[in-house]
Amino acid sequence: MWFYPSRHTSRRHVPQLAVLAWKGMKRRRSAVPTLVTLLVFLLVIVLLIRLQQTPPWPRPHSMAELPVPVMSHRDRAAERPRRREYSDRSERAGPRDQSCGDLEVTCSSEYFRQWHEPASNSCTPSTRKGYPIPDPRCTPGGIDPSVTVNVLRDPQWRTRCIRNCETSEQEKHLAYSWYGIQKPRGNSGDNQVCELDHLVPLELGGADGMGNIWTECGPNATVLENRYFKVKDRVENYLADEVRTGRVPLATAQRGIATDWTQYLSEANRYCESGGRC
């Protein structure tokens, strides 16, 4: 009698099946082995090989084989805060005009690139057309998205609606250490040589967060109106007028002044010479 392997066949049955198949072939030594005998013998051999290759139970994973989650540099950067967070905004915000509440300004910051607070003496400004440009790693510039064109055109709008609403004046002084500049004494009036400047100005919907603040200083040997921050004020006034009248889109002016404010110097000077608000 022949035994045919089935799914219940275990490893201990395989040798018995092989022996039975071999005995069946010996009984028919005088005759040519039948096709059925050969097929059974081959089937037993295949089954034996399969059982040798397949473990009887799943092999447990070692700790080295378990998948380990890896955080990319982009994920780490996304976890960093884009701006400094404070527990109580009312303690650091300056007094706001009651009329500003009707404008629905929320006082928030969106920067033009990923930003985190730089270390002391790590920021280096560059120069364009003889004027300073902030380090984009430290001061990328940013906007307050709640300050729209309609807000800028509203008669109730004043820059005090968002000035010092996110960072206090004292907190802004931290930018001096970023750029390795010692805060000058008596920095006011005609003796003012430095300004903690909003790169994207508040009158263009600039952010009040630290990623939009830089120290604009010098030159000392000149009158107040020719110092760098006063020259940049001309550009800010020119662009603000262009945006309110619809000649320049707000987003274009915001990104343009954050990239290189000196590119508007020629237009700003002509604007001032023609009686503009300078």
- pLDDT at residue 105, rounded to an integer: 92
Q: How far apart are CA 183 and CA 178, in angstroms?
A: 12
The Cα 203–Cα 48 span in angstroms is 84
Cα separation of 225 and 229, whole Å? 9
pLDDT of residue 235: 98
pLDDT value of position 222: 93
**CA 148, CA 205: separation in Å to the nearest integer?**
7
pLDDT of residue 26: 56
Contact present, 214 and 125 (Cβ < 8 Å):
yes
Distance of CA 221 to the CA centre of its chain: 41
In the block, residue with structure tokens 């059982």: 51
pLDDT tens across the length of the chain (278 residues): 444 455 555 555 555 655 555 565 555 554 445 677 777 777 877 777 776 665 544 444 443 333 333 334 344 344 333 444 333 333 344 445 667 878 989 999 999 999 999 999 999 999 999 999 999 999 999 999 999 999 999 999 999 999 999 999 999 999 999 999 999 999 999 999 999 999 999 999 999 999 999 999 999 999 999 999 999 999 999 999 999 999 999 999 999 999 999 999 999 999 999 999 88
The pLDDT value given to residue 243: 98
Largest CA distance in the chain: 125
Which residue has tokens 């069946």? Answer: 24
Q: What pLDDT is stored for residue 81 in this prediction?
A: 38
The verdict on whether omega for the bond into residue 134 sits within 30 degrees of 0, i.e. cis, is no
Distance CA 264, CA 168 (A): 29
Q: What's the token pair of residue 85?
A: 């967070």
Q: Where are the domains of the chain?
A: 13-53, 102-273
Contact yes or no for 179/215 (Cβ under 8 A): yes
**Segment 119-122 long-range contacts (CB within 8 Å, at least 24 positions apart):** 119/178, 120/177, 120/178, 120/180, 121/177, 121/178, 121/179, 121/180, 122/178
Q: Is the distance from CB of 100 to CB of 156 less than 8 angstroms?
A: yes
Q: Structure pTM?
A: 0.67
What six digits make up the tokens of 67?
């998948």
